């Protein structure tokens, strides 16, 4: 059944999938000129609303300017700031945006450095700054009072009655996962920022209105603070600092604005811009909720800080979310397991490789095993596993000849992969041998009364039994060879194959004594081999073989192909393209996203040149859901040991993924029906 037109349009809207577009603004201002500054704020607010943002954060004391010094004690300035706020409220009644603006606010004869949240002409609340710096170039205690001194819970400002305090959380009725907390500049720099407790109280977006002058290297420290706070709070952190127009009597200002999401930088302004700036990002609220739910120490922290958490007061507000087709503005990587930046990718590959080597070497030391037994097909997975075996031997000071490597051609082995297997085994210095499994397989097929064993009569029967007899025979040989030689069978199956169930139960890609590839996805295996080829760990001869392996089609080679040597089976024609299925795996395993959201992310990542159409994404995601949730868990429930290599997760029943082997995929497939059949 095709989705209704409106439902289809909703699918292409980022807000449908619990993203929210936010903005951090750096207006150009004039010192002690609230009217001028309010006009600059209004211009950027209008632009933010036009870009479909729902929250916009401005710098500290942006209505008055931060560098007023003792001018803050002038009633003309204090009154002018309130008048400017009143003007902003009147002129934004029809603007679909919530904005945080900074200003001085006088309460009971005391002056507070505040952030005012305004939305569609309403003053939703005022949050005073908690920590006032009074060191080096800062003298805020000369002009302001700390926010927790005030005993008022409400005040009247700009003609409106509104909540007042530094323990306010604002929750959006139309998107309850958006819960906004405000802190101001120095509040972030203290040992226990107020936002830490606000996050425990449910805040998912933390806004920081900052002034923060610039000195050499300070921007890097700001980045570290905001990044770490967003990660510790498992929240989005919206930071906006003062820019052009602040007084340069003794200081300078770079207009540094950032948006972070659980430690990941989503967007950053250009520092030292000559004019006003508006920086956008789409925050994934589902990611924050998923990580808080999974990281149960977060919930334990809520319990341990119950007194602080209970001090927060929640305020609901309403704001209609944008409708219609609205793709993501944030970049979604096509290969979530493989960094796009070459330097970062090389570092990732080196670390994964070292983890694999360390895991295998440690297991060998613990068991006292001196020999490794491995089947080498000439394909990607067994190639990477063999490279790890060789380096593990180096780690513990044993010769490469202690690697007993076997290539075991069957009925469908091509000359190309067999040649690659031999070249690789010899190039790494393993003890290499070839075992023709066809006679043993033929005997088994005869015992089973399989049609293939009855002679050359056509048609041949290449069924699942025919395939698995070959796969099982290879594994049977490997385990018996390990018994014979006192060795350990090293597994070769990767994370992607395990996720899709594209492995035979009880054979080498599912069963072994230790599997070094068990949590490495197929898309990363390719880059690992390419990295090893250029790492200098092996001589040039190995690199040449690896280049040939990387250009080989992925095939189980269990059904005879054409006489020209082309394999009859291509894995990706059955289980789907590995780049796409690894994408699906990452977001389902790492975050537990519903299929419709995964499809939306995949569409944003893969549309365009060299990508996939939505109908292809929908089709292969359906294959993934069925195979992952319904037909292959029993294979993962019996996995051998192997090292987890990345935060993207593993499928070990002792680690990241513990699931029943007899569940059904109906609920996931029902959610997939929300995905339109075409772009």
Residue 128: what are its φ and ψ, rounded to 5°?
-85, 155
Element counts in the chain: helices (H) and strands (E)? 23, 20
Let me know whether 173 and 68 are in one domain: yes
Let me know whether 264 and 411 are in one domain: no
How far apart are the two ends of the chain, measured CA to CA in Å?
16
Q: How far is CA 489 from CA 318, 344, 486, 498, in A?
A: 61, 32, 10, 18
Decide if 17 contacts 587 (C-beta within 8 A). no
Q: How far is CA 235 from CA 202, 292, 441, in A?
A: 10, 9, 57
Sheet with 257-261: list strands edge to edge.
264-268, 257-261, 236-240, 205-209, 175-184, 168-172, 313-317
Q: State the CATH number of the domain containing residue 78.
A: 3.60.110.10
Is the residue at 5 inside a domain?
Answer: no
Q: State the CATH number of the domain containing residue 547.
A: 3.40.50.620
Is the residue at 220 inside a domain?
Answer: yes
Which positions ≥6 away from 471 have C-beta within 8 Å?
504, 507, 508, 509, 556, 558
Give the mean model confidence (pLDDT) for residues 230-251.
95
Give the mean model confidence (pLDDT) for residues 341-355.
96
Residue among 56, 68, 114, 129 flagged as catalytic:
129
Among the three residues 301, 317, 333, which one is the final residue of a domain in this structure? 317
- What's the pLDDT tens digit per position in 434-475? 999 999 999 999 999 998 888 765 567 899 999 999 999 999
Is the residue at 48 inside a domain?
Answer: yes
DSSP reduced 3-state for 207: strand
pLDDT band at 536 (very low <50, low <70, confident <90, very high): confident
Q: Which residues of 379-401 are buried (b: 16+ CB within 10 A; e: fewer)?
A: bbbbbbbbbbbbbbbeeeebebe
Sign of CA dihedral 460, 465, 467, 469: negative
Burial of residue 249 (CB within 10 Å: 0-12, 13-18, 19+) is: exposed
pLDDT band at 2 (very low <50, low <70, confident <90, very high): very low
Let me know whether 290 and 349 are in one domain: no
* Residues facing residue 278 across a β-bridge: 25
Residue among 56, 68, 185, 503 flagged as catalytic:
185
Active site residue 129: yes
Is the residue at 13 inside a domain?
Answer: no
Residue 296: what are its φ and ψ, rounded to 5°?
-70, -10
Q: What is the per-residue pLDDT for 456?
A: 62
pLDDT band at 508 (very low <50, low <70, confident <90, very high): confident
Let me know whether 297 and 367 are in one domain: no
The domain in which residue 215 lies consists of: 18-317
pLDDT band at 7 (very low <50, low <70, confident <90, very high): low
Let me know whether 414 and 548 are in one domain: yes
Q: Which two tokens stand for residue 418?
A: 């067999």
Residue among 52, 60, 349, 597 flagged as catalytic:
60
Which positions ≥6 away from 663 have C-beta within 8 Å?
629, 630, 633
- What's the pLDDT tens digit per position in 353-409? 999 999 999 999 999 999 999 999 999 999 999 999 999 999 999 999 999 999 999
Q: Report the percentage of the chain scoring pLDDT > 70.
A: 98
pLDDT band at 575 (very low <50, low <70, confident <90, very high): very high
Burial of residue 525 (CB within 10 Å: 0-12, 13-18, 19+) is: buried
Let me know whether 436 and 583 are in one domain: yes
Let me know whether 156 and 43 are in one domain: yes
Is the residue at 322 inside a domain?
Answer: no
- State the chain's mean pLDDT as an integer: 94
- What's the pLDDT tens digit per position in 98-125? 999 999 999 999 999 999 999 999 999 9
Give the mean model confidence (pLDDT) for residues 314-335.
95
Tokens 């770079």 map to which residue? 254
- What's the pLDDT tens digit per position in 55-89? 999 999 999 999 999 999 999 999 999 999 999 99
Please report the DSSP string for 10-21 in residue order. HHTBGGGGTEEE
Let me know whether 293 and 389 are in one domain: no
Among the three residues 260, 282, 317, which one is the final residue of a domain in this structure? 317
Let me know whether 418 and 298 are in one domain: no
Distance CA(179)–CA(125), nearest Å, equals: 14
Q: Which two tokens stand for residue 260?
A: 């972070």
Please report the DSSP string for 265-329 in residue order. EEEEPPTT-SS-EEEEEEEEHHHHHHHHHH-HHHHHHHHHTHHHHHT-EEEEE--PPP-S-B--S
Distance CA(457)–CA(451), nearest Å, equals: 9
Is the residue at 7 inside a domain?
Answer: no
DSSP reduced 3-state for 395: helix
Which positions ≥6 away from 295 have C-beta within 8 Å?
234
Let me know whether 311 and 347 are in one domain: no
Q: Residue 553: left if φ>0, alpha if ψ -120 to 50, beta else—which one?
A: beta
Let me know whether 290 and 378 are in one domain: no
Q: Which two tokens stand for residue 422?
A: 């031999």
Within 13 A of 37's CA, how many CA atoms are on the CB side? 32
Q: What is the per-residue pLDDT for 1?
A: 42
For the chain, the domain total comes to: 2
Give the mean model confidence (pLDDT) for residues 573-587.
97
Let me know whether 310 and 348 are in one domain: no
Which positions ≥6 away from 556 have C-beta within 8 Å?
467, 471, 569, 571
Is the residue at 187 inside a domain?
Answer: yes
Tokens 């010094």 map to which residue? 69
Decide if 77 contacts 38 (C-beta within 8 A). no
Is the residue at 552 inside a domain?
Answer: yes
């Amino acid at each position: 059944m095709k989705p209704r037109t409106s439902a289809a349009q909703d699918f292409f809207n980022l807000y449908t999938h619990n993203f929210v577009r936010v903005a951090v603004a750096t207006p150009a201002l004039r010192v002690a000129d609230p009217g001028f500054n309010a006009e600059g704020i209004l211009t950027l607010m209008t632009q933010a609303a036009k870009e479909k943002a729902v929250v916009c954060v401005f710098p500290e004391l942006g209505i008055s300017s931060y560098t007023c010094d003792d001018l803050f004690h002038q009633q003309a300035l204090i009154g002018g700031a309130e008048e400017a706020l009143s003007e902003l409220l009147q002129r934004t009644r029809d603007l679909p945006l919530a904005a945080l603006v900074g200003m001085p606010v006088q309460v009971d004869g005391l002056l507070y450095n505040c952030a005012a949240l305004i939305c569609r002409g309403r003053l939703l609340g005022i949050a005073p700054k908690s920590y006032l710096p009074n060191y080096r170039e800062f003298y805020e205690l000369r002009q302001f009072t700390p926010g927790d001194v005030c005993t008022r819970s409400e005040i009247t400002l700009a003609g409106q009655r509104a909540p007042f305090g530094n323990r306010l959380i604002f929750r959006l009725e139309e998107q309850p996962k958006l819960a906004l907390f405000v802190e101001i500049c120095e509040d972030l720099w203290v040992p226990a920022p107020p936002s830490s407790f606000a996050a425990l109280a449910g805040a998912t977006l933390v806004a920081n209105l900052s002034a923060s002058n610039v000195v050499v290297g300070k921007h890097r420290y700001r980045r570290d603070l905001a990044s770490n706070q967003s990660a510790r709070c498992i929240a989005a952190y919206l930071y906006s600092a003062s820019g052009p127009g602040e007084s340069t009597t003794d200081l300078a200002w770079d207009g540094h604005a950032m948006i972070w999401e659980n430690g990941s930088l989503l967007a950053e302004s250009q520092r030292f811009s000559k004019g006003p700036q508006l920086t956008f990002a789409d925050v994934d609220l589902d990611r924050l909720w998923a990580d808080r739910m999974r990281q149960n120490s977060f919930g334990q922290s809520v319990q341990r800080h119950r007194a602080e958490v209970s001090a927060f007061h929640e305020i609901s507000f309403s704001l209609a979310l944008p409708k219609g087709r609205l793709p993501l503005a944030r970049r979604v990587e096509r290969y979530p397991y493989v960094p796009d930046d070459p330097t970062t990718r090389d570092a990732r590959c080196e670390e994964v490789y070292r983890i694999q080597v360390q895991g295998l070497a440690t297991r060998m030391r613990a068991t006292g095993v001196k020999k490794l037994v491995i089947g080498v097909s000439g394909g990607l997975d067994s190639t990477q596993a063999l490279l790890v075996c060789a380096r593990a031997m180096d780690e513990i000071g044993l010769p490469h000849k202690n690697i007993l490597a076997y290539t075991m051609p069957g009925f469908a082995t091509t000359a190309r992969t067999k040649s690659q297997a031999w070249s690789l085994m010899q190039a790494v210095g393993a003890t290499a041998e070839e075992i023709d499994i066809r006679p043993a397989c033929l005997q088994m097929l005869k015992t089973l009364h399989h049609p293939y064993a009855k002679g050359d009569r056509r048609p041949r029967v290449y069924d699942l039994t025919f395939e698995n007899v070959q796969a099982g025979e290879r594994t049977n040989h490997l385990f018996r060879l390990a018994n014979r030689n006192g060795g350990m069978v090293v597994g070769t199956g990767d994370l992607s194959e395990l996720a899709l169930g594209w492995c035979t139960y009880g054979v080498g890609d599912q069963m072994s004594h230790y599997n070094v590839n068990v949590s490495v996805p197929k898309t990363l295996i390719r880059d690992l081999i390419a990295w090893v080829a250029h790492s200098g760990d092996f001589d040039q001869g190995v690199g040449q073989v690896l280049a040939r392996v990387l250009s080989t089609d992925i095939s189980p080679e269990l059904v005879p192909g054409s006489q020209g040597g082309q394999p009859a089976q291509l894995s990706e024609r059955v289980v789907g393209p590995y780049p796409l299925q690894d994408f699906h795996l990452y977001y389902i395993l790492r975050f537990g996203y519903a299929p419709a959201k995964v499809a939306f992310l995949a569409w944003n990542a893969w549309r365009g040149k060299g990508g996939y159409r939505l109908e292809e994404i929908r089709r292969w995601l359906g294959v993934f859901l069925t195979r992952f949730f319904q037909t292959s868990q029993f294979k993962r429930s019996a996995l051998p040991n192997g090292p987890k290599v990345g935060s993207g997760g593993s499928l070990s029943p002792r680690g990241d993924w513990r699931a029943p082997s007899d569940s059904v995929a109906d609920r996931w497939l029902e959610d997939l029906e929300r995905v339109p059949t075409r772009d």
